[in-house]
Homo-oligomer: A and B are copies of this chain.
Amino acid sequence: MSTVLVPGPVASGVPDKPVGAEVVVIGLGPAGAQWLTPEARTELAAATDIVGYATYVNRVPVRPGQRRHATDNRVEAERAEFALDLARRGSRVAVVSSGDPGVFAMASAVLETRADRGYDDVPVRIIPGLTAAHAVASRVGAPLGHDFCMLSLSDQLKPWPVIAERLEAAAAADLVIALYNPASRSRRRQLEDAREILLRYRKPETPVVVGRAVGSDAESVRVVTLDELDTAEVDMRTLLIVGSSRTRAHGSTVFTPRSY
């Protein structure tokens, strides 16, 4: 039942392309082999080339004859163009992402680059994966059990006023909020500001799930309240889930009932 994305019209003048040349953007799921889907495993095995951020490439088992292109490059568009270029020259390229590649990750970077830099002749498929928020949620119960949103707090690609407006809208509409990219070494202010915005709409005792490196040996998952959330403890590997007015902390579990 794999639906191949039909590539756009082939640009004239492009030489014959080997059969099977394509880019497959693959979600590895959060850290740990327990969440890698059979589909993703099969696609990884069929690739001639693995492309991705070094941390993610290192999660793919080494296979003889398979080339590995681990980059420290933070510019996603460049990594995407590198992959599309390899495929155009005949490779079956797996671009690997942690979690789901369609959530704040490589899938849209590859598709945008394909559309805007003349790679419509290169077929691209996306293989979904478990995104971090659901893994973190499962560790404490079901905080995402009712209407929720997933927002990135990074202002590298969008201006802070847009982020602030979205936080306000989500908070006012009483959605549970999963925060991706809450902070990095240099980016510390955003989470402080976000917490202030949220506290205008949510009670201080609102449960907040602080999940770090879920699925890895370094995993830690803690439940705190919004007013006791220590933003200094949050880094790039952390994902936060902020409860709605209905989210309940009961013993060591946190869940949001479906009824409102």
The residue among A142, A150, A168 with the most chain B CB atoms within 10 A of its own CB is: A142
CA distance A120 to B34 in the complex (A): 28
A7 and B251 contact, Cβ closer than 8 Å, known pairs A100-B134, A107-B142, A108-B142: yes
The segment from A53-61, A65-73, A109-117 that touches chain B is A109-117
Chain B residue nearest to A247 (CB atoms) is B108
Residues from chain B with Cβ under 8 Å of A255 in the complex: 107-108, 111-112, 115
Partner of A38, one of B34, B158, B219: B34
Chain B residue nearest to A108 (CB atoms) is B145
Chain B residue nearest to A116 (CB atoms) is B250
Q: Which of chain A's residues 195-212 have a Cβ closer than 8 Å to chain B?
A: none
A139 to chain B, nearest CB (A): 5
Q: Are B175 and A149 in contact (CB under 8 A)?
A: yes
Residues from chain B with Cβ under 8 Å of A144 in the complex: 102-103
Partner of A162, one of B112, B248, B260: B260
State whether the Cβ of A35 lies closer than 8 Å to any Cβ in chain B: yes
Residues from chain B with Cβ under 8 Å of A221 in the complex: 3
A123 to chain B, nearest CB (A): 11
State whether the Cβ of A82 lies closer than 8 Å to any Cβ in chain B: no
Known: A3-B219, A103-B134, A108-B256. 10 other contacts (CB 8 A): A1-B216, A29-B37, A35-B39, A107-B142, A108-B258, A115-B248, A115-B253, A128-B135, A149-B170, A166-B175
Report which A residues bind B (CB closer than 8 A): 1, 3, 5-9, 27, 29, 32-39, 42, 76, 100-105, 107-109, 111-112, 114-115, 120, 124, 126-131, 134-135, 137-152, 157-159, 162, 165-166, 168-170, 172-175, 215-217, 219, 221, 248, 250-253, 255-260
